[in-house]
Amino acid sequence: MLKLAGVETYYGKIKALHGVSLNVEEGQLVTILGANGAGKSTILKTISGLVEPENGTIHFNNIRIDRKDPEKIVSMGISQVPEWRRIFPDLTVYDNLFMGGFLIKEKELLRQRMEEAYIHFPILKKRKDQLAGTLSGGEQQMLAISRALMIKPRLLLLDEPSMGLSPLLVKDIFATIKELHKSGVTILLVEQNVNYALKIADYGYVLTTGKIFLSGTYDELIKEEKVREQYLGEGKYTRREKLWGG
């Protein structure tokens, strides 16, 4: 469904991505892991057309999209939940969802998508007339995900959905992501929470300083000492059993 080949992206003169190549098959949940500043969010912004790559290509369902405008990419079926949620704080929950469905022209279909959002996150229905900026961090994340789902995307890009949330809410958000994946949504997930992300992903890429240096399944990546030490904080004297359950 999605293929990046040799993608190089710059911010001014600073090179953020160094020849990134990755694939996402239809129906997969693929995760990109790495520390702050590794370039994870830049990959998603480049896919969405918010940043244009200097070199390399991006194909979505065999159509090249790396020179297309963001609104065109959205209309093709790619939706993004940005880092720190980026909801519209001065609009109500309902209006935020309405904005997410801006491509939907049929009123009945728009109403149906609203109801689907409320099924995923019932609390949003209770809060539908509340200003989004007054929601808790977890509720804002639920709203951001629901807003992105309004257009029924073929590919959902999730940027650090666990950021700033309590451990209990992180668990709930990942449970929701897992359910979305089971329902057939193809997902590309950017995360720092390696343990949670790998456990629900079909495949993972590990990014460092704009380069992919490891990739594989959960079983393959947890065997890598670099992953344990750099992204799980495991040294030679830490208790691996506590983190990995065995």
User: Cα separations (Å) of 137 from 24, 44, 86, 134, 158?
Assistant: 29, 22, 11, 9, 16
Task: Please give the distance of CA 190 from its chain centroid, rounded to a whole number.
Answer: 5
**From CA 124, how far away is CA 222, in angstroms rounded?**
37
Q: By C-alpha distance, which of 208, 212, 191 is closest to 56?
A: 212
Question: b/e for 110-140, b at 16 or more Cβ within 10 A?
Answer: beebbeebbeebeebeebbeeebeebeebbb
Q: By C-alpha distance, which of 130, 48, 118, 133 is closest to 88?
A: 133
Question: b/e for 158-195, b at 16 or more Cβ within 10 A?
Answer: bbbbbbebeeebbebbbebbbebbeeebbbbbbbbbbe
Residue with tokens 């789902």: 149
- The pLDDT, as a whole number, for residue 238 is 43
Q: Where are the domains of the chain?
A: 2-77+154-244, 87-152
Side chain identity at 206, as an amino acid letter?
V
Who's near 164: CB < 8 A, 6+ residues apart?
Answer: 84, 137
> 163: helix, coil or strand?
coil
Residue with tokens 């290509």: 57
- pLDDT per residue of the chain (246 residues) written in tens, 0 to 9: 999 999 999 999 999 999 999 999 999 999 999 888 889 999 999 999 999 999 999 999 999 999 999 999 999 999 999 887 889 999 999 999 999 888 888 889 988 999 989 988 899 999 999 999 999 888 999 999 999 999 899 999 999 888 888 888 888 889 889 999 998 999 999 988 888 898 899 999 999 999 998 999 988 888 887 776 666 555 543 444 444 343
Q: By C-alpha distance, which of 177, 142, 227 is closest to 28?
A: 177
- Contact assessment for residue 205 and residue 33, using Cβ atoms and an 8 Å cutoff: yes
**From CA 115, how far away is CA 108, in angstroms rounded?**
11
- The pLDDT, as a whole number, for residue 231 is 62
- Contact assessment for residue 183 and residue 29, using Cβ atoms and an 8 Å cutoff: no
Stated pTM of the model: 0.87
User: Cα separations (Å) of 66 from 18, 57, 78, 209?
Assistant: 16, 6, 13, 21
* The domain made up of 2-77+154-244 is a member of CATH 3.40.50.300: yes
- The pLDDT, as a whole number, for residue 38 is 87
- The pLDDT, as a whole number, for residue 172 is 86
- The pLDDT, as a whole number, for residue 233 is 55
- The pLDDT, as a whole number, for residue 140 is 92
- The pLDDT, as a whole number, for residue 230 is 67
